[in-house]
Amino acid sequence: MRVLVGFFSLAAMLIFTGCQKEEAAGPEPIPVKVEVVSTQEVRPAWRYSGETRPDTEVQMAFKVPGYIAGLRRVKGADGRVRDIQVGDEIPAGAVLAYLRRNDYQASLNTAVGQETQTVGLLQASQADLDRAKADQKKADQDFERAQALYGVKAMTRPDYDAAVAQHDATTANVQAAIRQIDARQGQLHAAQWDVVSAKINLGDTNLIAPMPCVIVEKDVEPGDLVAAGTRAFILDDTRVVKVAFGVPDSMLSHFKMGLPVPVQIDGLGRTLMGQVTQIAPSANSQSRVFNIEISLPNGDRSLKVGMIASVRIEQGNPQTVPVVPMNALITAESGTNNYSVFTIQERNGKQFAQLKSVRIGEALGKSVVINEGLLPGERIVINRTDQLADGSLVRVID
């Protein structure tokens, strides 16, 4: 019995000793790759972001009311002819939409008829004036003869008075004919203006593109009844696009009218050369920045309105700065701009991962500038960062 008890005591001691050894061993270190923080000579730069805008945007509206009889027809991507729609490119002078013309053509015909009638009346009045002047000429001659005869007592008083009355009557007839012509000419001018107005209204039944453009909004369809001033389309001229952004007053000296400026278009992955075409004369009253506008040629129409664009302005003197690989960065929270890295710290002959916050600068290929938080020569972890926590035991591998 004592032998059996001793056997169990020995077994228990062995089990306890094994547990102690297992606890003393601790967690296995995580194998990681490291890289020394290096330096690179860069030219510091300021970066501003904006979005592309059309060179010109026009809201097209009908000046006169009426029913829309039709829209411009174009061939679609499937080969079928269809009405114009958003996204279509339209040449200058193209008729975008047109109203029913019957009423406006009838008004023009009426105005032309009234003009023709007024011309006839004016011609009749001119004939009346010619006759009145002929009668006046004869009356003037008779009056002069009557004056001579009456002066030598060769004409009676009643005959002389009759000659005077005839002279006065013909003179009044001429004046009346002249007034009638003046009135007819006024009527003719009014009739001619009515014709011009009717022609303008008839022409305004066509909505014409004032420039080569892209349709960005369409608000009408055939058969719609529109009032005067109803907006039908919004058109953008994108042969040149603009990028607008704001800079503080300390940066104004870096921008001059006509200055060539490289513009990075994120959506295309391209850098294009633009030109400064506008500098605000005063700061925005709320943001206190000065608006700058850069124009970019867009002959191939690859630049679309609303694309994100970045403008990079380099400083004068290069600087030596620490840089790290981008894959060494981790974010404190998803979607934030707070970045950290894991550095290697040694304690008691062991290596640990220590989390350090950093402030990053601009990207340089696959690396990024560190503005704050790291010094050249420090070792940082470049893999398995998702498996580490602050203070994790690690083992550096090649």
Q: How far apart are alpha carbons 225 and 99 in whole angstroms?
A: 9
Say if residues 337 and 380 touch (Cβ distance below 8 Å).
no
Between 26 and 199, residue with greater pLDDT: 199
Provide the b/e sequence for 201-236 (b: ≥16 CB within 10 Å): bbebbebebeeebbbeebebeeeeebeeeeebbbbb
CATH number at 27-42+318-397: 2.40.420.20
CB 214 within 8 A of CB 90: yes
Weakest-pLDDT range from 1-10, 102-111, 247-256, 343-352: 1-10
Q: Give residue 333's pLDDT.
A: 59
**Residue 281: Cβ within 10 Å count:** 7
Q: Which CATH class is domain 103-203?
A: mainly alpha
Better-predicted residue by pLDDT, 218 or 149: 218
CA atoms lying within 13 Å on the CB side of residue 155: 18
Domain 238-314, CATH class in plain words: mainly beta
- CB 370, CB 322: distance < 8 Å: yes
pTM of the model: 0.61
- Residue 208: pLDDT band with limits 50, 70, 90: very high
The one-character DSSP state at 285 is T
pLDDT at 22: 46
Residues of the chain with CATH 2.40.30.170: 238-314
User: What is each CA distance from 231 to 73, 101, 126, 204, 265, in whole angstroms?
Assistant: 19, 19, 49, 14, 32
Stretch (H or E) spanning 319: strand 319-325
Report CA-CA distances (Å) from 268 to 10, 71, 299, 302: 76, 34, 15, 8
Closest to 147 in 3D by CA, of 166, 128, 134, 132: 166
**Res 13: pLDDT:** 52
For the structural domain made of 61-98+209-233, what CATH number should be given?
Answer: 2.40.50
- The CATH 2.40.50 domain(s) of the chain lie at 61-98+209-233
Res. 64: pLDDT tops 90: yes
Residue range 118-128, pLDDT digits in tens: 999 888 888 88
Spatial CA neighbour of 357 closest among 395, 329, 386:
329
Task: Give the max Cα distance, the chain.
Answer: 193
3-state secondary structure 324-379: EEHHHCEECCCCCCCEEEEEEEEECCEEEEEEEEEEEEEEECCEEEEEECCCCCCE
The enclosing H or E element of 300 equals none
What is the rounded CA–CA span in Å between residue 279 and residue 267? 26
- Determine how β-strand 30-36 pairs with β-strand 393-397: parallel
Position 287 pLDDT exceeds 90: no
Number of other CB atoms surrounding residue 326 within 10 Å: 15
For the chain, give every residue range classified as CATH 1.20.120.
103-203
Residue 85: predicted pLDDT: 94
Segments of the chain assigned to CATH 2.40.420.20: 27-42+318-397
Taking the C-alpha atoms of residue 121 and residue 135, their distance in angstroms, rounded to an integer, is 21
What pLDDT digit, counting tens, does each position of 295-314 carry? 999 988 899 998 999 988 87
| 13-27, 48-62, 350-364: which is most confident | 48-62
Res. 239 pLDDT band, cuts 50 70 90: very high
- In three-state secondary structure terms, 111 is helix
Q: Which helix (H) or strand (E) holds 247?
A: strand 231-247
CB atoms within 10 A of CB 111: 21
Return all residues near 289 (Cβ < 8 A) that are at least 6 apart.
Answer: 246, 247, 248, 283
HSE, side-chain direction, 13 A CA sphere, residue 94: 17
